[in-house]
Amino acid sequence: MDLHVEGVRKTYGRGSAAREVLTETSVTVRSQQFVSIVGPSGCGKSTLLMMMAGLLRPSGGQVRLGDRVVDGPPIGLSVVFQDYSRSLFPWMTVRRNLAMAAAAYKLPKAELRHRVEHALESVGLPGSADMYPWQMSGGMQQRVAIARALVVEPTVMLMDEPFAAVDAQTRADLEDLVLRVRHEYKVTVAFVTHDIDEAVYMGDRIIVMAAGPGRVLAELDVDLPRPRDQVETKRDPQFAELRSEVFRLVMRPGGVKTAVG
Protein backbone atom coordinates (compact mmCIF):
# COMPACT_ATOMS: atom_id res chain seq x y z
CA MET A 1 0.00 0.00 0.00
CA ASP A 2 1.45 3.39 -1.03
CA LEU A 3 1.83 6.24 1.47
CA HIS A 4 1.13 9.64 -0.10
CA VAL A 5 2.09 13.03 1.38
CA GLU A 6 0.27 15.68 -0.62
CA GLY A 7 1.20 19.34 -0.19
CA VAL A 8 1.51 19.15 3.59
CA ARG A 9 2.83 22.05 5.63
CA LYS A 10 3.15 22.67 9.35
CA THR A 11 3.02 25.99 11.20
CA TYR A 12 3.26 26.46 14.97
CA GLY A 13 1.72 29.50 16.66
CA ARG A 14 -0.53 32.20 15.23
CA GLY A 15 -0.29 35.71 13.88
CA SER A 16 3.06 37.41 14.32
CA ALA A 17 4.26 34.49 16.46
CA ALA A 18 3.58 31.92 13.72
CA ARG A 19 6.56 29.83 12.68
CA GLU A 20 6.47 27.66 9.57
CA VAL A 21 8.60 24.55 10.19
CA LEU A 22 7.57 22.67 7.06
CA THR A 23 6.50 24.33 3.83
CA GLU A 24 4.38 22.64 1.15
CA THR A 25 5.83 19.14 0.77
CA SER A 26 4.80 16.17 -1.36
CA VAL A 27 6.33 12.70 -1.09
CA THR A 28 5.18 9.22 -2.13
CA VAL A 29 6.53 6.08 -0.47
CA ARG A 30 5.70 3.17 -2.75
CA SER A 31 4.52 -0.20 -1.44
CA GLN A 32 7.42 -2.26 0.00
CA GLN A 33 9.91 0.52 -0.74
CA PHE A 34 12.54 1.61 1.79
CA VAL A 35 12.83 5.40 1.79
CA SER A 36 15.55 7.15 3.81
CA ILE A 37 14.89 10.77 4.86
CA VAL A 38 17.92 12.94 5.63
CA GLY A 39 18.62 16.62 6.16
CA PRO A 40 20.09 19.12 8.62
CA SER A 41 18.71 19.54 12.14
CA GLY A 42 15.52 21.57 12.17
CA CYS A 43 14.50 20.75 8.59
CA GLY A 44 11.25 19.05 9.65
CA LYS A 45 12.19 15.37 9.15
CA SER A 46 10.54 14.19 12.36
CA THR A 47 7.61 16.55 11.85
CA LEU A 48 7.02 15.01 8.44
CA LEU A 49 7.22 11.50 9.88
CA MET A 50 4.78 12.30 12.70
CA MET A 51 2.27 13.63 10.15
CA MET A 52 2.71 10.44 8.13
CA ALA A 53 1.89 8.51 11.32
CA GLY A 54 -1.24 10.54 12.06
CA LEU A 55 0.29 11.71 15.36
CA LEU A 56 0.48 15.33 14.20
CA ARG A 57 -2.10 17.17 12.13
CA PRO A 58 -0.86 19.11 9.09
CA SER A 59 -1.62 22.83 8.90
CA GLY A 60 -2.39 22.21 5.24
CA GLY A 61 -2.43 19.38 2.73
CA GLN A 62 -3.08 15.75 3.58
CA VAL A 63 -1.52 12.32 4.07
CA ARG A 64 -3.11 9.22 2.53
CA LEU A 65 -2.43 5.55 3.16
CA GLY A 66 -3.74 3.97 -0.01
CA ASP A 67 -7.08 5.71 -0.62
CA ARG A 68 -7.68 6.57 3.04
CA VAL A 69 -6.88 9.99 4.50
CA VAL A 70 -4.67 9.72 7.60
CA ASP A 71 -6.34 11.84 10.31
CA GLY A 72 -5.13 9.73 13.25
CA PRO A 73 -2.89 6.68 13.75
CA PRO A 74 -4.16 4.22 11.11
CA ILE A 75 -4.49 0.46 11.44
CA GLY A 76 -1.61 -1.20 9.62
CA LEU A 77 1.00 1.47 10.39
CA SER A 78 3.66 1.22 13.13
CA VAL A 79 6.20 3.71 14.48
CA VAL A 80 9.64 3.05 16.02
CA PHE A 81 10.93 6.03 18.00
CA GLN A 82 14.48 7.12 18.76
CA ASP A 83 14.19 6.94 22.55
CA TYR A 84 13.42 3.30 23.32
CA SER A 85 13.72 3.97 27.07
CA ARG A 86 10.64 6.18 26.87
CA SER A 87 8.68 4.20 24.30
CA LEU A 88 8.75 0.92 26.28
CA PHE A 89 6.90 0.52 29.58
CA PRO A 90 9.61 -0.54 32.07
CA TRP A 91 7.10 -1.99 34.56
CA MET A 92 5.70 -4.36 31.92
CA THR A 93 7.32 -7.53 30.61
CA VAL A 94 8.42 -7.64 26.99
CA ARG A 95 5.38 -9.82 26.26
CA ARG A 96 2.98 -7.23 27.71
CA ASN A 97 4.74 -4.38 25.89
CA LEU A 98 4.16 -6.17 22.59
CA ALA A 99 0.60 -7.14 23.49
CA MET A 100 -0.23 -3.49 24.26
CA ALA A 101 0.71 -2.54 20.70
CA ALA A 102 -1.82 -5.03 19.35
CA ALA A 103 -4.65 -4.16 21.77
CA ALA A 104 -6.67 -2.27 19.14
CA TYR A 105 -6.60 -5.32 16.86
CA LYS A 106 -8.52 -7.50 19.36
CA LEU A 107 -6.64 -10.65 18.36
CA PRO A 108 -7.53 -14.07 19.79
CA LYS A 109 -5.13 -15.03 22.59
CA ALA A 110 -3.52 -17.84 20.62
CA GLU A 111 -2.92 -15.57 17.60
CA LEU A 112 -1.49 -12.82 19.81
CA ARG A 113 0.85 -15.27 21.53
CA HIS A 114 2.03 -16.59 18.15
CA ARG A 115 2.67 -13.07 16.84
CA VAL A 116 4.60 -12.04 19.96
CA GLU A 117 6.82 -15.12 19.77
CA HIS A 118 7.36 -14.74 16.02
CA ALA A 119 8.22 -11.02 16.30
CA LEU A 120 10.76 -11.71 19.06
CA GLU A 121 12.33 -14.50 17.01
CA SER A 122 12.50 -12.16 14.00
CA VAL A 123 14.53 -9.58 15.96
CA GLY A 124 16.83 -12.18 17.51
CA LEU A 125 15.28 -12.27 20.98
CA PRO A 126 13.62 -15.68 21.34
CA GLY A 127 12.84 -16.62 24.91
CA SER A 128 12.89 -13.01 26.15
CA ALA A 129 9.12 -12.47 26.50
CA ASP A 130 9.16 -12.60 30.31
CA MET A 131 12.06 -10.18 30.75
CA TYR A 132 11.61 -6.51 31.62
CA PRO A 133 13.10 -3.72 29.48
CA TRP A 134 15.30 -2.54 32.35
CA GLN A 135 17.00 -5.95 32.38
CA MET A 136 18.17 -5.43 28.79
CA SER A 137 20.93 -3.49 27.04
CA GLY A 138 20.05 -0.50 24.87
CA GLY A 139 20.43 -2.52 21.69
CA MET A 140 18.15 -5.25 23.04
CA GLN A 141 15.54 -2.68 24.06
CA GLN A 142 15.51 -1.22 20.57
CA ARG A 143 15.07 -4.75 19.19
CA VAL A 144 12.01 -5.06 21.46
CA ALA A 145 10.72 -1.74 20.10
CA ILE A 146 11.10 -3.07 16.56
CA ALA A 147 9.37 -6.33 17.54
CA ARG A 148 6.52 -4.29 19.01
CA ALA A 149 6.13 -2.51 15.68
CA LEU A 150 6.09 -5.86 13.86
CA VAL A 151 3.61 -7.65 16.11
CA VAL A 152 0.68 -5.98 14.33
CA GLU A 153 2.10 -7.15 10.97
CA PRO A 154 2.07 -3.61 9.55
CA THR A 155 2.00 -2.62 5.91
CA VAL A 156 4.01 0.52 6.73
CA MET A 157 6.69 1.08 9.39
CA LEU A 158 7.95 4.58 10.20
CA MET A 159 11.28 4.88 12.01
CA ASP A 160 12.51 8.13 13.59
CA GLU A 161 16.30 7.97 14.08
CA PRO A 162 15.93 4.61 15.83
CA PHE A 163 19.66 3.91 16.17
CA ALA A 164 20.91 7.32 17.29
CA ALA A 165 21.43 6.22 20.91
CA VAL A 166 23.44 3.01 20.32
CA ASP A 167 27.11 2.33 19.63
CA ALA A 168 28.51 1.82 16.12
CA GLN A 169 28.66 -1.99 16.20
CA THR A 170 25.12 -2.29 17.59
CA ARG A 171 23.97 0.21 15.00
CA ALA A 172 25.34 -1.91 12.15
CA ASP A 173 23.68 -5.02 13.61
CA LEU A 174 20.33 -3.20 13.90
CA GLU A 175 20.57 -1.84 10.35
CA ASP A 176 20.94 -5.37 9.01
CA LEU A 177 18.17 -6.57 11.31
CA VAL A 178 15.74 -3.98 9.92
CA LEU A 179 16.65 -4.92 6.35
CA ARG A 180 15.96 -8.58 7.16
CA VAL A 181 12.59 -8.02 8.83
CA ARG A 182 11.59 -5.55 6.14
CA HIS A 183 12.03 -8.37 3.63
CA GLU A 184 10.40 -11.00 5.89
CA TYR A 185 7.30 -8.91 6.65
CA LYS A 186 7.20 -7.26 3.20
CA VAL A 187 6.73 -3.91 4.92
CA THR A 188 7.05 -0.39 3.50
CA VAL A 189 9.57 1.70 5.46
CA ALA A 190 10.14 5.45 5.84
CA PHE A 191 13.34 5.93 7.85
CA VAL A 192 14.57 9.26 9.27
CA THR A 193 18.30 9.45 10.01
CA HIS A 194 21.13 11.97 10.40
CA ASP A 195 23.65 9.35 9.27
CA ILE A 196 24.30 9.66 5.53
CA ASP A 197 26.08 6.29 5.29
CA GLU A 198 23.06 4.66 6.93
CA ALA A 199 20.64 6.39 4.57
CA VAL A 200 22.52 5.14 1.51
CA TYR A 201 23.19 1.66 2.89
CA MET A 202 19.56 0.94 3.77
CA GLY A 203 17.48 2.84 1.25
CA ASP A 204 15.92 2.19 -2.14
CA ARG A 205 15.43 5.95 -2.37
CA ILE A 206 16.72 8.94 -0.42
CA ILE A 207 14.76 12.11 0.25
CA VAL A 208 17.04 15.03 1.10
CA MET A 209 15.40 17.89 2.98
CA ALA A 210 16.52 21.50 3.42
CA ALA A 211 15.69 23.79 6.33
CA GLY A 212 14.35 27.30 6.64
CA PRO A 213 11.47 26.24 6.46
CA GLY A 214 11.71 22.49 5.84
CA ARG A 215 11.15 21.27 2.30
CA VAL A 216 12.23 18.51 -0.09
CA LEU A 217 15.46 19.50 -1.79
CA ALA A 218 16.15 16.34 -3.80
CA GLU A 219 15.20 12.70 -4.31
CA LEU A 220 17.82 10.12 -5.24
CA ASP A 221 17.39 6.52 -6.35
CA VAL A 222 19.75 3.98 -4.74
CA ASP A 223 20.58 1.28 -7.27
CA LEU A 224 22.88 -0.82 -5.08
CA PRO A 225 22.52 -4.63 -5.16
CA ARG A 226 20.54 -6.41 -2.45
CA PRO A 227 21.03 -8.04 -0.07
CA ARG A 228 23.28 -5.34 1.36
CA ASP A 229 26.50 -6.12 3.21
CA GLN A 230 28.24 -3.80 5.66
CA VAL A 231 31.64 -4.38 4.02
CA GLU A 232 30.96 -5.21 0.38
CA THR A 233 28.20 -2.67 -0.19
CA LYS A 234 30.31 0.13 1.26
CA ARG A 235 33.21 -0.86 -1.02
CA ASP A 236 31.03 -0.33 -4.08
CA PRO A 237 32.11 2.82 -5.98
CA GLN A 238 28.44 3.71 -6.44
CA PHE A 239 28.02 3.77 -2.64
CA ALA A 240 30.82 6.34 -2.36
CA GLU A 241 29.33 8.39 -5.21
CA LEU A 242 25.86 8.45 -3.64
CA ARG A 243 27.27 9.22 -0.20
CA SER A 244 29.19 12.22 -1.60
CA GLU A 245 26.11 13.49 -3.47
CA VAL A 246 23.87 13.27 -0.38
CA PHE A 247 26.54 14.95 1.75
CA ARG A 248 26.87 17.77 -0.79
CA LEU A 249 23.10 18.32 -0.79
CA VAL A 250 22.75 18.21 3.00
CA MET A 251 25.59 20.71 3.46
CA ARG A 252 24.31 23.00 0.72
CA PRO A 253 22.76 26.18 2.18
CA GLY A 254 19.21 26.68 0.90
CA GLY A 255 19.09 25.79 -2.75
CA VAL A 256 16.49 24.99 -5.35
CA LYS A 257 14.53 21.75 -5.28
CA THR A 258 16.09 19.27 -7.70
CA ALA A 259 15.64 15.68 -8.77
CA VAL A 260 18.66 13.40 -9.02
CA GLY A 261 18.95 9.78 -10.19
86 contacts 165 by C-beta, under 8 angstroms: no
Q: Which of 80-89, 100-109, 172-181, 210-219 has the lowest mean pLDDT?
A: 80-89
CA angle 185, 261, 250 (to 5 degrees): 85
Tell me the pLDDT of the chain averaged across its residues: 93
Query: Residue 258 pLDDT more than 50?
Result: no
| Digit-coded pLDDT (tens) for 204-220 | 999 999 988 999 999 99
37 and 82 part of one domain: no
pLDDT confidence of 1, banded at 50, 70, 90? Answer: confident
What average pLDDT does the segment 73-97 reach? 92
Domain count, the chain: 2
Is 36 inside a domain boundary? yes
56 and 10 assigned to the same domain: yes
Decide the pairing of beta strands 34-38 and 188-192: parallel
- Residue numbers of the domain that contains 227: 1-75+156-161+187-261
Which pLDDT value is given to residue 87?
Answer: 86
Mean pLDDT, residues 1-16 taken together: 92
Q: Does any domain span residue 26?
A: yes
Per-residue model confidence as pLDDT tens digits over 47-70? 999 999 999 999 999 999 999 999
pLDDT band at residue 260 under the 50/70/90 scheme:
very low
Q: How many CA atoms lie within 13 A of 168 on its CB side?
A: 2
Number of neighbouring beta carbons within 10 Å of residue 43: 24
Answer for the pair 32, 187: CB distance below 8 angstroms, yes or no: yes
pLDDT tens-digit readout, 123-162: 999 999 999 999 999 999 999 999 999 999 999 999 999 9
